[in-house]
Structure 1
Amino acid sequence: MGIADVRCEVLVAGAYFADLIFRDLPRAPAAGRETFAGGFEMLPGGAFNPAVALHRLGNDVVWATDFGEDEFSRYVLAGARAAGLDESGFRYHQGPLRSVTVALSDAGDRAMVSFQDPMTPRPLHELVRVYRPKVLVLPELRHGPGVAETLRVVRDSGTSIFMDCQDVPVTLETATVREVLSHVDVFAPNLDEARRLTGAATADDAATLLGELVDTVLIKRGEQGALALRAEGRFAVPAVPVRVVDTTGSGDCFNAGFVHGILADWDLPRCLAAAVACGSAAATSPGSGGAPDAEQLSAWLAKVGPISSS
């Protein structure tokens, strides 16, 4: 795929969610007890987050998603339009197509409960054929029959594949998972996801196991920052100290920062620094509201601590 064939820089393929965020919880919710949150927001979420974060950074983004006629679809669609996202990847369906998450967020982390009406997404190979992106962003680990072959076709077309994990309940021993990951360019689980997926006790061990399958492994470690593993080395970046308001969109904005670096042809340490900067910035506001634009990213990058390598 030559540069003249590219129609967009990034294609984000994933479902919308309407996020109901209960934050500043005084204690963890428990069965039989009522807990009052210190703050509440309803915000567009799901794949909206990496799409809008990349758009704010100045990248040419198409978000491929589906909307119904329900109140949640209408709400997120209005948010996407207000943010100025390209609407060419949107499909519209008669009847409800509800995707909603309740996020219970405190300064350390969040728990989530989600619901989705069933829907068959548009095939990835079809989307890539239409939009011919430089990078395909998949917000969750896809697996199952046919997925690996689809990703192989996508990759052979010249598109790089960035995949998050999103707490999908699988391990490396689950059928097709290893094969799927072997066709992914960048895989970015958080620490808990990486441990569950690999069975490893530490981030370093999990990265090593995943690095046997994936070209570039990123592991998000929350307050500990993040690490990256590629053939040329292993790098770690500390988190930027911030007053955490909500971590719901931080991982998505982390992903956007890294993809932005790929598109800018930055080296791995600088891409990782951009990812940590964007993830840290996002934690200062609910959802992806704190995602920086390109000018703000420069200021956040100046706050990122020293990058260590091994």
Structure 2
Amino acid sequence: MTPRAAGCVAVIGENVADAVVEPAAGSDTALRLRVFPGGGPANTAVALGRLGTPTRFLGRLPRGVFGDLFVERLRTSAVDLSCAVTASEPATLTIASVAADGQASYVFYAAGTADWQWTARELAPSHLDGVACVHAGSLSLVMEPGGNLVEKLLRTARERATVSIDPNVRAALVSPRRYRSRIAEWSRLADIIRMSADDAAELFPGVSLDDLLRAPGLADVPLVIITRGERGVIASFRQDVVEVPAVAVRTVDTIGAGDAFSAGLLHWLYQAGHLGGRIDQLDIETVRRALTFGARVAALTCATPGADPPWASRLTSESTNLLP
């Protein structure tokens, strides 16, 4: 693949401090937490930067120990923070519990936190200068007062950039009805929508995944992707359906796997020269290859604790964590 000559991927959204519950030691009754930098959009930005795609992060970064943690992670992952905002509000926090199979569940502490307090000046259209693709998602699309401003910026971005959206439904914090009320607008804005099977069940209750790929509510989206964990990925590109298998891996946890998948997909499309507009030159075989790459990036993320996506060098070397 030949890299694009110019442009970058801009990611809009939140950082979150992921506090993962660690197993109690013996009779110790204290709750032990290990804190990782996370947040769906930030995870995607970090993964893109580590893969080698020029990446700009539009987020509101809190001061203090969590803010320092976020900034260090983004900067050392080669993410451009020139359009990020230093915020006075506190960081968003989650408590993540990991089951025996590596699946994570979350409790959010997000009221009044930095990530959602956008102003129109902070999300100025000038932040999109030189951008080939804008990726947004998760809580930043539905938490107010910022959600409407993020949507407005995506409308502006669509004039010259590919738009990628990941709903990443957080039903414990925001009612699925709120997401459902916005999915039609996101479908009009997006060239690419990726959702997990759990997201799909919340957004389109009672609709099978096969029917969902051709649902009227998503008909305007050229590329619709549903990630299904161990069952792999199914996608529809202009009504043609393609499936790719999951990559077998010794799973530590699934935190950040979907975010890493989105980064892998966008990285592949960027390197192949398909970002920067309406993805008109894609074909189904190219989509398959991009999905396969995204699945590999997601698998390697599952092989490490927390949302710790791989660097490009790891994707070109044999990994002991990948199963035969």
1:292 has 2:285 as partner: no
Q: Which moved more, 1:82-91 or 1:233-242?
A: 82-91
Q: Which residue matches 2:66?
A: 72
Q: Distance in 2 between matches of 1:90 and 1:206?
A: 36
Q: Which moved more, 1:225-234 or 1:184-193?
A: 225-234
Contact 1:171/1:177 (<8 A) preserved? no
Q: 1:192 to 1:100 in 2, by over 3 A?
A: same
1:154 has 2:161 as partner: no
Instruction: Name the amino acid aligned to 1:162.
Output: S
Q: Which residue matches 1:28?
A: none
Q: Distance in 2 between matches of 1:76 and 1:263?
A: 25
TM-score (norm 1): 0.81
1:179 has 2:198 as partner: no
Q: 1:77 to 1:145 in 2, by over 3 A?
A: closer
Offset at residue 66 of structure 1 (A): 1.3
Instruction: Name the amino acid aligned to 2:12.
Output: A
TM-score (norm 2): 0.78
Contact 1:281/1:300 (<8 A) preserved? no
Unaligned runs of 5+ in 1: 26-33, 306-310
Instruction: Name the amino acid aligned to 1:139.
Output: G
Q: Which residue matches 1:98?
A: 91
1:256 has 2:275 as partner: no
Q: Which residue matches 2:17?
A: 18
Per the alignment, in what secondary structure is the counterpart of residue 277 of structure 1? helix
Q: Equivalent of 2:229, from 213, 222, 242? A: 222
Q: 1:125 to 1:80 in 2, by over 3 A?
A: closer
Q: Which residue matches 2:208?
A: 202
Q: Which moved more, 1:105-114 or 1:251-260?
A: 105-114
Q: 1:133 to 1:35 in 2, by over 3 A?
A: farther
Identity %: 25
Contact 2:55/2:80 (<8 A) preserved? yes
Q: Distance in 1 between matches of 2:180 and 2:260?
A: 28
Q: Which moved more, 1:229-238 or 1:274-283?
A: 229-238
Instruction: Name the amino acid aligned to 2:165.
Output: M
Q: Equivalent of 1:212, from 215, 219, 224? A: 219
Offset at residue 44 of structure 1 (A): 0.9
Q: Which moved more, 1:97-106 or 1:124-133?
A: 124-133
Q: Distance in 1 between matches of 2:289 and 2:255?
A: 24
Q: 1:230 to 1:115 in 2, by over 3 A?
A: same
Offset at residue 233 of structure 1 (A): 1.6
Query: How many aligned positions are there?
Result: 288
Contact 2:125/2:156 (<8 A) preserved? no
Q: Equivalent of 1:276, from 270, 289, 295? A: 295
Cα root mean square deviation, aligned: 3.2
Contact 2:250/2:322 (<8 A) preserved? no
Q: Which moved more, 1:174-183 or 1:141-150?
A: 141-150
Q: Which moved more, 1:138-147 or 1:259-268?
A: 138-147
Q: Equivalent of 2:196, from 190, 194, 203? A: 190
Q: Distance in 1 between matches of 2:190 and 2:29?
A: 41
Offset at residue 41 of structure 1 (A): 3.0
